Amino acid sequence: QKEVEQDPGPLSVPEGAIVSLNCTYSNSAFQYFMWYRQYSRKGPELLMYTYSSGNKEDGRFTAQVDKSSKYISLFIRDSQPSDSATYLCAMGPAGGTSYGKLTFGQGTILTVHP
């Protein structure tokens, strides 16, 4: 079983829809969480960074973390065609020998239709 599970999709939605992207994890040492957006042939772009359970909002994006259930989500409101990309969840431990290293989900391919 992978440490981080993410549904690869693909996910296809109409413009304006609310998108929900999810990851589950098994390693309780993971204490901080990130969501990245990656366009084809580009490096990942950091969208959201959080280290506590609860919600964090930034514009059209909301990151949700539930450490008790080992489950994180990214919500995109009013989705736009420019949001079409691969979305990667990533997480890491607060200490130990793997401190600083990120473990990534497989990535979800999202397409937003005009």
Contacts with other proteins by CB under 8 A lie at 32, 34, 36, 41-46, 49, 51, 88, 90, 92, 100-102, 104-107
DSSP per position, 54-108: EEEEETTEEEEEETTTTEEEEEESS--GGG-EEEEEEEEESSSTTTT--EE---E
Contact between residue 30 and residue 91 where contact means Cβ atoms under 8 Å apart: yes
Q: How far is the CB of 42 from other proteins (least distance, A)?
A: 6
Nearer to other proteins, 13 or 102 (CB): 102
Instruction: State in angstroms the smallest separation of the CB of 66 from other proteins.
Output: 19
Q: Which is nearer to other proteins, 42 or 77 (CB)?
A: 42
Least Cβ distance, residue 33 to other proteins (angstroms): 10
